[in-house]
Structure formats: structure tokens, C-alpha cells
Amino acid sequence: TLNIGEAYLALGQDSLASDFLTTAYVKLDQLYGPKHARVFTAAYSLADYYAERDVKLALDYYGRAADFVDYHFLNVLPLLPTAERLSSMERYKKFIDKYFSFGYQHHGENPTVGSKMYNTALAYQHAREALDIPTTVALTKEPTADLRKSYNQWKALRSQIITATEKTVAERTEMNVDLNELLTDIQAIEKTMFHAYLNNHVGRESDGFISSLKARLQSGDVLVNFFPLHWFNMQSQHFNDQEAYLTFVLGPTSTKIDLIEISLTQNVLDVEQSRGQSAYSQQIWSPLEDVLSSHQRLLIVPTKRMNLVAFGALATKDGSLVWDEYKIDRLSSPFALINRTANASIQDK
């Protein structure tokens, strides 16, 4: 039914396409439950269908597809070795880029879109950072008998989880498998295997990430989290190759996430900051300046090229330097804010 709907869409038969795509989504959701790859695909197809027809419905279906991505990134991908995990993540990155491009364009029409998108960005970051347990165990010199025993239990649970995620609701019921119980069990085993690391790391509930970050921000603080993406043009149906970032800005009392577009041109990409100060300031600081003006300390989470930027040396619109007006901390990850000690500070110089 899903393939038929997509075929009708390609032929320009909108009404038939809508009927078949919606029917496919409903049936797949009933058959597998919302946390299944086939339901993700159906929701993604409906989001694309409505993107040019109904913004509200498009955002709704992009959000439903993102629910699967969040769950998959938080619960399934961390069970895989890093190379396999990153390969799987890249298969979903185009969806994220398209979702974020559309969400950014229309976030003013729905105040919850920014938070929803940031949950997905955090889930993506979490999957990248999660401990590679198979490789860690393999590299452990002289593992103890307890570690070997726990790892064998972990592998057995991992196999059950991966198998269960591919089954229908009825098949999981027949197998007497509860995914939530399996995930709770495997996380308990992980803590016995690598107690120091996992007790100092975040859990696997994306809805709690934002509230945990806000709780660690003090008055006057603001978190500035860069997320790399390729903007998707809905008119041309092509991704832009220009290096760009969607920047999530979160304050301690924020009722919404501010979203800022940062796009870099060759004036920045091909030039060191010391020789391209004006372009760096214009392209990186200027889009952020008004949103950040009411804060005193910037907690910046850079990525990719942003790791090379000396944010304090950027020029503000009144001609001063950023470090003359703000205290600046650089964080390696948004989760470092959750895990760091209250007084930890890495100053940006």
C-alpha cells in the first residue's frame, strides 16, 4: 500500500496518493507499533506529501517519524559497535536535515517545534557519544570473570532487543517480549560492567534532556549548541552543499528553544580567522547577537569547523569583542553540562 501511494504521488495523483499513504501508515502503526522502521518510512512519506500542501500536518508527520529516530538513536544504536552505529546514523541524517530545514522554516507556526527538533539533535549526539561496549570489552586487558559473565548476558539481551524491534506487536506478544523490560535489564547490566562511565552519563530518555540542561544553567547563562546540516530546498527538492548549522539556543528560563541559521561561505571556509575577522563575525556572530544579548555567560557547544572558531575574538555590532561583553565556556558536548561539576569552567581564549 505504501509503495502504491508513492507511485501515485510520482504520477501526480494527489488524492489517491494521500489515501494510500494514510492507509499504509495506519495499518503499519497498528501492526508494528510506532517505534518501528516501517512506520518511520510511512510517516516520512506522509510528511513529504504534506510539506507542499499542509504545514501543520507535515510538521505532525515529521514529528512522528522523528519519534522513531529518537527512540532508535537512544536505545538501539548504542548497542552497536561505533563503525556500524555511525553507518546506520548516516542513513537517517538526510531525514534529519530535511525535517530540520522544514521545521526551521515553519517553527514560528508551532512553538513546540524547536524543542521537538532539539530532542532529535540531542538523541543524535547521544548515539555518537555512547560507549562502544563490544570494542571496549575487546580492548580490556585481562577482563575479570565478572566482566566476561556480564558481557555474555549483555550480548544475549542485545540480540533479543534487536530481534524484538523487527517484530510485529502480535509477534512480540506471542514471544512474551517486553522491549521496555529488556532495555531496563540491559542498562542495569551496563552499569555493573562500566560503573564509573555509565553512572556519569545521561540516560536514554530524550524528553528529559532539555529539562536536565535547563536545570544546570544558572541565571545569565545561555547554551549555544551548533548542529551541522545541509539545508533542504523544498522548491528544488535538493540539498544545499554549503556548510551550515542549525543553532539551538537555550536559557535557564526559556519557554522555547531559539533556532538560528548559520551558513558559511568561502570567505570563512577558505580563510583563517585571523585574516577573515570581518567575515567570521558577520557570518557566525551577527545572526546570534540579538538572541544572546540579554545573557552574560555563553556555554558554546561547537562542532566541525566551529571547533576552530575563537568566539571571544569575534566582533560585535558596536565594534567590541565578544569576550569583552560575555564570559565564555566551551563544552565538548551538551551532555558535558549535565555531567560537569558546578564550578567547572573552560574559558574560550
Q: How far apart are CA 318 and CA 339, in angstroms?
A: 36
pLDDT the model gives residue 250: 95
Question: Is the pTM value of this prediction over 0.85?
Answer: yes
134/151 Cα distance (integer angstroms): 8
Q: In whole angstroms, give the CA distance from residue 210 to residue 188.
A: 24
Instruction: Give the CA distances from residue 52 to residues 16, 31, 59, 113, in Å, rounded to whole numbers and listed in that order.
Output: 16, 29, 11, 18
What is the mean predicted confidence (pLDDT) over 25-30? 94
pLDDT per residue as tens digits for the range 91-144: 899 999 999 999 999 998 888 899 999 999 999 999 998 889 999 999 998 989
CB 107 within 8 A of CB 259: yes
Q: What's the confidence (pLDDT) of residue 1?
A: 62
Grid coordinates representing 318 are: 558596536
Q: How confident is the model at residue 348 (pLDDT cuts 50, 70, 90)?
A: very low
Query: Cell 566541525 maps to which residue?
Result: 304
Q: What's the confidence (pLDDT) of residue 202?
A: 52
Q: How many residues does the chain have?
A: 349
Q: What is the pLDDT of residues 280-309, one digit of tens each?
A: 999 999 999 999 999 999 999 999 999 999
DSSP class of residue 283 equals: I
Strand blocks (E) in the chain: 221-229, 232-233, 238-239, 244-250, 258-263, 297-301, 327-330
Average confidence score pLDDT of the chain: 89
Please give the full DSSP string across 52-68, using - where no structure is assigned.
TT-HHHHHHHHHHHHHH
pLDDT at 218 over 70: yes
Compute the distance between CA of residue 290 and CA of residue 344 in angstroms, rounded to an integer. Answer: 27
